[in-house]
Amino acid sequence: MSVLGEFAAWCAYADAVKQAVARVGAIVVATTVMTALIAASVLMGSPHVASAESGSKRYPDVTRVSSASAHLRFTLPTSSGTAYSPNNPNLADRTIRKSPMVLFLAATRARPMDYRSFISTAAGAGYHVLALDYTNTGRSVQATCRAKAACYTAVQRNRLDGSHSSAFSSVRPADSILARLRSALRYLRANDPNGGWGRYLNGSTINWSRIVVAGHSQGGGESAYISHLHKVRGALMFASPVETTNGVAASWMHKPGKTSASRLYAFDSDNDMFFSKIRGSWTMLGMDTFGAPQTIVAGEPLHSHELLSARDIGNKHESHSRTITDNTPRSHGVPVFRSVWKWMLAQLYTRPASAHTADSSKSP
């Protein structure tokens, strides 16, 4: 090899060594930064998934979903020697100590983690928020019951309190929504002692007057059913209830509920594959009394208890979910329906006039 050839080869070798050293240096720097971040997270409360049991405590430690989120993520402890099933992480959030609470129930086979944008919006509106995992696996209530009016009542009652097990639904009492709600509130009261979570539970009795029930699809139908049985602060139904088929509605809808229809609000896409079933349910709940459904138009104030979007948010299946899940369209990173959520939440933040005499508390 010539002298020039040897020199060129040496230069190429030196350049390769230089690049290798640079890569190693970058790895060292990244490792150092990661080590520092981990150390900081340990000091400030590291983000990790809580296990069902943590150390000697009955409840797992409160954990953060991420450093950029105030959501508390936790699973429920074993109840009466039996683990909850399913037992996906629940999400909770709050801002001020004394406020009404939103209890949110997800759609069939969905999880609380699928609704983080709405949870953040509700907390930002001043609410305590608890997105509760529950038995929503398998077939939806609509697919199970179709045009069987009594079936809806049987399934929703069983999932709420574990009673009246049937061929349609066989949730045990210890795994019911009520049992999970009590356990979650006790957990939050123990692990977030300054959070004011005890306001929603008196012993084993749920303080429904301070709770807005909300949900998507099956969860919205269950929320409507809860508002029928209990005088809640109000109910928010997203793409729900899907409980009227060919003019046949859930049997419980044929009787007046404990919560006034004036405290019920609903939102859906007019392209929802279940829209006719949902629209029929709104009528059965008496929501038409307060005016016809309002199609949302930019710049026009909202006023109806029945809100519709004509925006193209996907096919009919996608339109059933994208009015409320984290898959909702965004504009500059903001959910396009956030202003609708905020308006609906604002309607129920203030207690109804009759509640002022029933509840002497000066807090919301």
**For 240-268, what is each residue's pLDDT tens digit?**
999 999 999 999 999 999 999 999 999 99
* Phi/psi of residue 269, nearest 5 degrees: -90, 140
Note the pLDDT of residue 36.
43
Whether pLDDT at 40 is above 70? no
pLDDT digits (tens, 9 = 90+) for 299-312: 899 999 999 999 99
CA distances from 347 to 72, 244, 260, 324 (A): 26, 26, 14, 18
Same domain, 353 and 318: yes
Domain assignment present for 79: yes
- Range 326-355 average pLDDT: 91
Same domain, 149 and 282: yes
Residues contacting 56, CB < 8 A, separation 6+: none
**CA 233/CA 31 separation, integer angstroms:** 51
Q: Where are the beta strands (DSSP E) in 32-133?
A: 63-64, 72-74, 90-93, 101-105, 128-132
Could you tell me the two tokens for 61?
A: 């430690």
Query: 245 - beta bridge partners?
Result: 248
- Range 188-208 average pLDDT: 95
Length of the chain: 364
Strands 101-105 and 90-93: unpaired
Domain assignment present for 173: yes
Name the residue with tokens 């009015």: 323
Same domain, 32 and 116: no
Could you tell me the two tokens for 155?
A: 């399934």
pLDDT digits (tens, 9 = 90+) for 205-214: 999 999 999 9
The CATH number covering residue 307 comes to 3.40.50.1820
Note the pLDDT of residue 43.
33
Same domain, 15 and 102: no
Whether pLDDT at 88 is above 80? yes
Could you tell me the two tokens for 333?
A: 């990173």
Q: What is the number of alpha carbons within 13 Å of residue 160 lying toward its C-beta? A: 22
* Phi/psi of residue 326, nearest 5 degrees: -70, -5
CB 88 within 8 A of CB 133: yes
Name the residue with tokens 């005016």: 291
pLDDT digits (tens, 9 = 90+) for 125-138: 999 999 999 999 98
Strands 211-216 and 234-238: parallel
Same domain, 150 and 29: no
Q: How many domains does the chain fold into?
A: 2
Could you tell me the two tokens for 94?
A: 């709050």
Same domain, 234 and 320: yes
Whether pLDDT at 328 is above 80? yes
Q: What is the mean pLDDT of the chain?
A: 83
Same domain, 8 and 127: no
Query: 103 - beta bridge partners?
Result: 130, 213
Same domain, 153 and 24: no
CA distances from 211 to 126, 137, 208, 231, 305 (A): 13, 25, 5, 9, 19
**CA 356/CA 231 separation, integer angstroms:** 14
Same domain, 160 and 259: yes
- Range 220-238 average pLDDT: 98
pLDDT digits (tens, 9 = 90+) for 265-291: 999 999 999 999 999 999 999 999 999
Note the pLDDT of residue 362.
41
Q: Where are the beta strands (DSSP E) in 106-200?
A: 128-132
Confidence of residue 70 (pLDDT cuts 50, 70, 90): low
Residues contacting 297, CB < 8 A, separation 6+: none
Whether pLDDT at 94 is above 50? yes
Residue type, 138: G
**CA 282/CA 55 separation, integer angstroms:** 48
Same domain, 19 and 73: no
Name the residue with tokens 């409840």: 59
The neighbour count for residue 57, using CB atoms within 10 Å, is 11
- Range 98-120 average pLDDT: 97
Note the pLDDT of residue 39.
38
Which range of residues forms the domain containing residue 181? 61-358
Contacts within 8 Å (CB) and 24+ apart, 199-203: 199/98, 199/101, 199/363, 200/101, 200/128
**CA 154/CA 157 separation, integer angstroms:** 5
Domain assignment present for 55: no
